[in-house]
Structure 1
Amino acid sequence: MKIAKLIALLGVIAMTGALIFGFTQGDFFMDGSAVLANPWGVVSMVDLYVGFTLFSMWIAFREKHVLQAVLWIVMMMVFGFLTGALYVLIHLIVSKGDWTKFFMGARQ
């Protein structure tokens, strides 16, 4: 579980840095329209949001409270895998080495 925590922490750090870089050095609307003007940019966005949706299904499955699940899912759709990495890191810590608790959450 230590390796999983390290990978999740590195994901949080990498995504935080990438988002700060993007928002301080780029133009969200201009750059976003350039991405969507490229066919492979569209493919990348569809791929990303399919992944966000599948990960969000796991969040909805394992969370006990609907409001908590909705908040995490909204954050996933807005902040991407910064949210996913943070969610994984938090629940790896909370599960205290119990992989069943990690994967199943409230359904354990």
Structure 2
Amino acid sequence: MTLIRVALIVAAVAFAAMIVSAALRADIFESFAAVSADPWGAVSLVDLYIGFLAFGVIVWFVEPDMRARLGVIIALPFLGNLVALPWLAWRLPMFARALRRR
């Protein structure tokens, strides 16, 4: 399980590096306008935000700390998987224990 947790954190760090790289090379609003203008780009964005909503529902029901719960759910639409990956790495032992009991 430690390897999976490390992989999730590495993925989050790599993703953060990609965000910084993209921010230095392109305007975010122009890029989103181009993506959302394409029908498949719009579908991809809707898919992305439905995924954030679904992940938020999971966080709501399994996160015991209300402050962490609200923080993750509020941050998800803005930071997306940059929030989801570390949260999942943090809570993976809890998921593993719950699944072993089944």
State TM-score, norm by structure 2: 0.84
Structure 2 unaligned regions, length at least 5? none
Residue identity over aligned pairs, in percent, reads 25
Distance 1:82 1:98, change over 3 A: closer
State the shift of 1:5 in Å.
1.1
State the shift of 1:98 in Å.
7.1
| C-alpha RMSD of matched pairs (Å) | 1.9
Partner of 1:106: none
State TM-score, norm by structure 1: 0.80
Structure 1 unaligned regions, length at least 5? 104-108
1:29-68 deviations in whole A, cap 9, x for unaligned?
1111111100011011011011111111111111224332
The one-letter code sitting in structure 1 at the alignment partner of 2:43 is V
The one-letter code sitting in structure 2 at the alignment partner of 1:32 is F
Match of 1:100 among 67, 72, 97: 97
1:45-95 deviations in whole A, cap 9, x for unaligned?
011011111111111111224332121111111111111111112223xx3
Distance 1:71 1:98, change over 3 A: closer
Instruction: Tell me: higher relative CO, structure 1 or 2? Use CA pairs within 8 A at least 6 residues apart.
Output: 2
Partner of 1:78: 78
